[in-house]
Amino acid sequence: MTRGGLWLAAALLLVLPLDARSDDPSAETVVIQDASGRIVVVPAKSAAKRPPPVESETPAAREVGECEAHEAIISKWLKARERVIAAQRALEYAESIPLSGMGRYRDVRIRRAESELALAEKRESTADTTALDRGVPQRCLDDSHLPSADQ
Amino acid sequence: MAFINYSAREINCKLVYYGPGLCGKTTNLKYIYEKTAADAKGKMISLATETERTLFFDFLPLSLGEIRGFKTRFHLYTVPGQVFYDASRKLILKGVDGVVFVADSQEERFEANVESLENLKANLREQGYDFDKIPVVLQYNKRDLPNAVALEELRSALNPTGKIADFEAAAQSGKGVFETLKALARLVLQELKKGSR
């Protein structure tokens, strides 16, 4: 069964009570998937109170999501760093433009590069990198978190 | 290459901590980060695994006072020491102004030190730098461990001519950490002055 098929089956199990013929609604039980991803049988009443698990909340999907989120944070910060370096180079270039005959053009380029650099530095310093403090989870470093070819 | 921002009157330099895996590069940076006043340091970024192995690099911006009216900002980087990450090391060496080579004094890491130093020389050459001309400082780390090799033995393998400034250290406790950094900063600034003449 494909991963999509599995989720469909799990979703169907969620809405189908095990004992639909019972007259006493409190006696009804349903099969649900709990927060840790286990399939459990619980009274329909308590199941109704729980929000249905969505794919991204299950452990496997959560792992993929975590790895992707980590990757996104790293690449966002790296981009911010690259932008600072690029702005520094742009400013260096602007300052190398000869004053004679190109003074006005030089001034414009310098001003533009300076504001770009200030913005890039601000972006870099305000980037939320707290998730990096915990380090990249080991499972994100190999392919084990990726769905296999048959899924 | 150092970046000088004339309007902001700032000099930005890039220093890289290089060395074999688990020699203590990140420990050096962490110690510097802990002991530096809040207004002189930026955010320390570690692109590491959850087991604290450096995955890409650590990054620490530091302000080290003023020189002739210019604020000096040093950007400290470490490289991942594991042999596998050579491409990352090459990338991080781009635009470097000075290198701290951190050697692991433990007997069983002797070969790893030699290999890593050779790798540094090769990677610098690839980037167009000459190891003998770029500011480099050597740090013999983990001197406090019982299995540390005699200093002379390390020197003869890593600094045979004795031309490179070298320091004994125990980065965990902070011994030698700032001495190493100061020595490299001084060399880099000397190099900058030469260039501005």
Residue A114, burial from CB neighbour count under 10 angstroms (0-12, 13-18, 19+) = middle
The verdict on B196 touching A (C-beta cutoff 8 Å) is: no
pLDDT at A14 over 80: no
The closest alpha carbon to B10, from B81, B88, B67, belongs to: B67
- Phi-psi map region of B54: left, alpha, beta (phi>0 left; psi -120 to 50 alpha): beta
pLDDT in tens, A81-139: 999 999 999 999 999 999 888 889 999 999 999 999 999 999 998 888 888 888 888 88
| Maximum mean pLDDT: which of A62-66, A74-78, B159-163 | B159-163
In whole angstroms, give the CA distance from residue B112 to residue B141.
Answer: 13
Q: What is the mean pLDDT of residues A43-53?
A: 57
pLDDT-based confidence at residue A145 (cuts at 50, 70, 90): very low
Q: What is the pLDDT of residue B176?
A: 98
Residues B79, B45, B50, CA angle at the centre, nearest 5°? 80
The verdict on B43 touching A (C-beta cutoff 8 Å) is: yes
Record: contact B46-A133, CB cut-off 8 A = yes
pLDDT at A70 over 60: yes
Helix (H, G, I), strand (E, B) or coil at B121: helix
Residues of B in contact with A92 (CB under 8 A): 3-4
* Chain B nearest-CA residue for A67: B49
Q: How far is B126 from chain A (nearest CA, A)?
A: 21
pLDDT at A2 over 50: no
Helix (H, G, I), strand (E, B) or coil at A143: helix
User: Which residue from A89, A92, A137 is facing B50, i.e. has the nearest CB?
Assistant: A137
Record: contact B49-A136, CB cut-off 8 A = yes
Residues B84, B124, B95, CA angle at the centre, nearest 5°? 100
User: Which residue from B4, B50, B95 is facing A134, i.e. has the nearest CB?
Assistant: B50
Q: Mean pLDDT lowest for which of A79-83, B6-10, B40-44? A: B6-10
Q: What is the pLDDT of residue B7?
A: 82
Record: contact B49-A110, CB cut-off 8 A = no
pLDDT in tens, B85-141: 999 999 999 999 999 999 999 999 999 999 999 999 999 999 999 999 999 999 999
pLDDT in tens, B27-36: 999 999 999 9
pLDDT-based confidence at residue A75 (cuts at 50, 70, 90): confident
Q: Which residue has the higher pLDDT, A11 or B73?
A: B73
Average pLDDT, chain A: 69
Q: What is the pLDDT of residue A17?
A: 36
Record: contact A117-B51, CB cut-off 8 A = no
Q: What is the mean pLDDT of residues B45-71?
A: 89
pLDDT at A44 over 80: no
pLDDT in tens, B136-191: 999 999 999 999 999 999 999 999 999 999 999 999 999 999 999 999 999 999 99
Q: What is the pLDDT of residue B38?
A: 94
User: Which residue from B7, B42, B46 is facing A132, i.e. has the nearest CB?
Assistant: B46
Q: What is the pLDDT of residue B141?
A: 98
The verdict on B26 touching A (C-beta cutoff 8 Å) is: no
pLDDT-based confidence at residue B67 (cuts at 50, 70, 90): confident
Q: What is the pLDDT of residue A136?
A: 86
User: Which residue from B43, B49, B95 is facing A135, i.e. has the nearest CB?
Assistant: B49
- Please, where are the H alpha helices in chain A? 3-15, 44-49, 59-96, 103-126
In whole angstroms, give the CA distance from residue B28 to residue A69.
Answer: 29
- Please, where are the H alpha helices in chain B? 25-35, 86-93, 110-126, 151-158, 177-196
Q: What is the pLDDT of residue A15?
A: 31
Q: What is the pLDDT of residue A40?
A: 56
Handedness of CA A128, A130, A132, A133 (dihedral sign): positive
* Chain B nearest-CA residue for A136: B49
Direct distance between the N- and C-terminal alpha carbons of chain A, in angstroms, rounded to an integer: 8
Residue of B10, B54, B55 for testing the chain A interface, max A β-carbons within 10 Å: B55
Q: What is the pLDDT of residue A9?
A: 36
The verdict on B91 touching A (C-beta cutoff 8 Å) is: no
Per-residue b or e along B101-127, where b marks 16 or more CB atoms closer than 10 Å to that residue's CB = bbbbbbeebbebbeebbebbbebbeee
Residue of A70, A88, A145 for testing the chain B interface, max B β-carbons within 10 Å: A88
In whole angstroms, give the CA distance from residue B183 to residue B165.
Answer: 8
The verdict on B47 touching A (C-beta cutoff 8 Å) is: yes
Say what percent of chain B tops pLDDT 70: 99
Residues of B in contact with A110 (CB under 8 A): 7
Q: What is the pLDDT of residue A36?
A: 53
CA A36 vs. chain centroid, Å, equals: 20
